[in-house]
Amino acid sequence: MAKKINFLNLGKHPITNNFLKVQNPNNEFFYNLDLIFNSETKLVSLKNFVSPKRMFNDKYAHRASASKTMRLAYSKLAKSIEKKFKPKSILEIGSNDGVFIKHFMKINNIGVEPCKNLARITNKMKIKTYDEFWNISLSKKIIKHNKFFDVIYSANTISHIHNLDETFQAVNNSLNNNGIFILEDPSLAEVLKNRSYDQFYDEHAYVFSITALKNITKKVGLQIFNIEKLKTHGGSNRVYFKKFSNDKIKISNNVSKHLKNEKQMGIHKLDVYRKFSKNVKRSKKKLVEIFRKLKKKGEPIIGYGATYKSSTVLNYCNLNHEFIDYFLDTTPTKVGKFTPGTHIPIMKYNGIPSNVRFAFLGAWNFKEEIFKKEKEFIKRGGKFISHVPYPKIL
């Protein structure tokens, strides 16, 4: 019998995509953000899933193409898929604003994107995009019109879908016999190492280990044949799957290496999560201490990058408008609004104002890109505050 064990309670949290039009709304929705470990599958997930319709709607704010790092990463991956697999058809689950799928205009390229405002963007780009949630019924509809796929790709999406058995089954049903499925999502091993507890929020129903992925996909006939460790989004895994029945594709040695490494870390044991939980509580204490000290000195502090991730940190640590004056962000759909739960204004990025010496790095996953861009700020003594891997002033 699978046992689902609670290991961390992060308190009450809002919908991370709910960037507010007014600073103090009276009907904001909150849910309890608790993390659990499944002793059978080794999956780590939220205890309470939030209704998908609340999160993924026609006001979805995140644009995958907003960062240069990601634009380059997707273009590089598209070239590599083209070269290695020469697909004639490709399906992307969670196509967002088309940053990846637009590289495949010469073949049959199909998007799935339940956020209607995003699906409209890619449909306008002449990429047939289904504005529905991925499930068996949608996969049947797509196959009927488009046949089976050579490649199915999904970045930062499968970890957002609650029913994993159905999700992977629908993927397997939609692949042709030699087809491959590529999944890219934050790595649980990296979250544990970096104490990046902000990878858990309403949308991130799961944070995957390779161990858990292997356990849950074998049930539907998918087999991992390659893994790439990525730096993107604070440390992700790109996992390649084939059908079990396809023995033409060789299994790379790195699959067993990853599994061995996770075993050594104890990813299959509850103790590791109990330790993580202690570290997260310490991290909160230290971060709040840093903010309190700076505020006592009267320092203005801003936020850099109003990420969905930062919503977890701000709400868990109770860092509201009293601690952070405002956020700067390049995403037009966030500008002029307020952060969910903590009600901090979000302003249009136009450089860091000269009176600011401290900026909380909400987009810590783009640290390299941001440090390159903010040379002037750093030169004049400006400092970033980050909670990863532990709270400090950089």
Q: Which residues bind ligand DWN (CB under 6 A)?
A: 62, 66-67, 156, 203, 233, 305-309, 329-331, 334, 349, 363, 365-366, 369-370, 373
Closest to ligand DWN by CB, 308 or 360: 308
Min. distance of Cβ 231 from ligand DWN in angstroms? 13
d(CA 393, CA 379): 15
Min. distance of Cβ 105 from ligand DWN in angstroms? 23
Residues 96, 113 contacting (CB under 8 angstroms): yes
d(CA 218, CA 169): 10
Closest to ligand DWN by CB, 110 or 346: 346
Min. distance of Cβ 199 from ligand DWN in angstroms? 9
d(CA 369, CA 384): 13
At 222, which helix (H) or strand (E)? strand 222-230
Closest to ligand DWN by CB, 211 or 365: 365
Min. distance of Cβ 88 from ligand DWN in angstroms? 28
d(CA 106, CA 233): 29
Residues 110, 137 contacting (CB under 8 angstroms): no
Closest to ligand DWN by CB, 309 or 337: 309
Min. distance of Cβ 370 from ligand DWN in angstroms? 5
Min. distance of Cβ 343 from ligand DWN in angstroms? 17
Phi, psi of 157 (to 5 degrees): -135, -45
Angle at Cα 343 formed by Cα 331 and Cα 356, nearest 5°? 70
d(CA 41, CA 5): 12
Phi, psi of 267 (to 5 degrees): -60, -15
d(CA 109, CA 111): 7
Closest to ligand DWN by CB, 121 or 175: 121
* CA-derived radius of gyration, the chain: 21
Closest to ligand DWN by CB, 255 or 358: 358
Min. distance of Cβ 17 from ligand DWN in angstroms? 8
First to last CA, the chain: 46
User: CB under 8 Å to 144, separation ≥6 — which residues?
Assistant: none
Closest to ligand DWN by CB, 242 or 364: 364
Closest to ligand DWN by CB, 261 or 333: 333
Closest to ligand DWN by CB, 161 or 255: 161
Nearest residue relative to ligand DWN (C-beta): 305
Residues 62, 334 contacting (CB under 8 angstroms): no
In the sheet where 236-243 sits, what is the strand order? 128-130, 108-112, 89-93, 149-155, 175-186, 236-243, 222-230
Residue type present at position 245: S
Min. distance of Cβ 327 from ligand DWN in angstroms? 8
In the sheet where 4-14 sits, what is the strand order? 4-14, 30-38, 44-46, 206-207
Angle at Cα 110 formed by Cα 231 and Cα 330, nearest 5°? 45
Closest to ligand DWN by CB, 49 or 349: 349
Closest to ligand DWN by CB, 87 or 362: 362
Min. distance of Cβ 155 from ligand DWN in angstroms? 7
Min. distance of Cβ 46 from ligand DWN in angstroms? 13
